[in-house]
Amino acid sequence: MNVSERTAKRNRRVSPRRSPKGATRVSCRRGCLGLGPNIALTLLDVSETGARLIVKEAVIPGQELELGLLAPGSVREYAVPGQVIWSVETASGAHCIGVQFHKRLSYGGVQDVGRLPRV
């Protein structure tokens, strides 16, 4: 088995995940209108097709959310509607969720909010 075959078996994702840049801010609101309280605590990773984050309250798979991603030093927030794919309660009582975006986040958006992968 060559290196590319091993890499393909380890990561079968549509788009690679990136950890957020240190000062990236995230907001998460129920529904796709961006209204209501912010339930986001921490952004864990982001890609063109989705994100993984910690939220304050329980959300159920299938629920619609809108994420706001603000890159360090930027004034323009990326408003990204999506759907909860999975949710797991953490030991602290918060919830770790996976969100699939309705439309891809632009490559530039991923570059703005995510760290470059280490080689």
Single-letter amino acid code for the residue at 95: H
* CATH superfamily to which 15-111 belongs: predicted glycosyltransferase like domains (2.40.10.220)
Q: What is the pLDDT of residue 22?
A: 87
Cα separation, 16 vs 66, whole angstroms: 21
Q: Distance between alpha carbon 61 and the CA centroid of its chain, in Å?
A: 15
**Element of type H or E holding 3:** helix 3-10
pTM: 0.83
CA distances from 14 to 11, 50, 74, 78, 100 (A): 9, 10, 27, 21, 11
Single-letter amino acid code for the residue at 88: V
pLDDT band of residue 7 (cuts 50, 70, 90) is: low
Q: Higher confidence at residue 60 or residue 1?
A: 60
Cα separation, 1 vs 84, whole angstroms: 36
Arithmetic mean of pLDDT, 18-40: 91
Arithmetic mean of pLDDT, 63-80: 93
Question: How does pLDDT run across 81-107, given as a tens digit for each residue?
Answer: 999 999 999 999 999 999 999 999 998
Q: What is the pLDDT of residue 99?
A: 97
Taking all residues of the chain, what is their mean pLDDT, rounded to a whole number? 88
Q: What is the pLDDT of residue 41?
A: 96
Q: What is the pLDDT of residue 1?
A: 54
Report the DSSP beta bridge partners of residue 77. 70
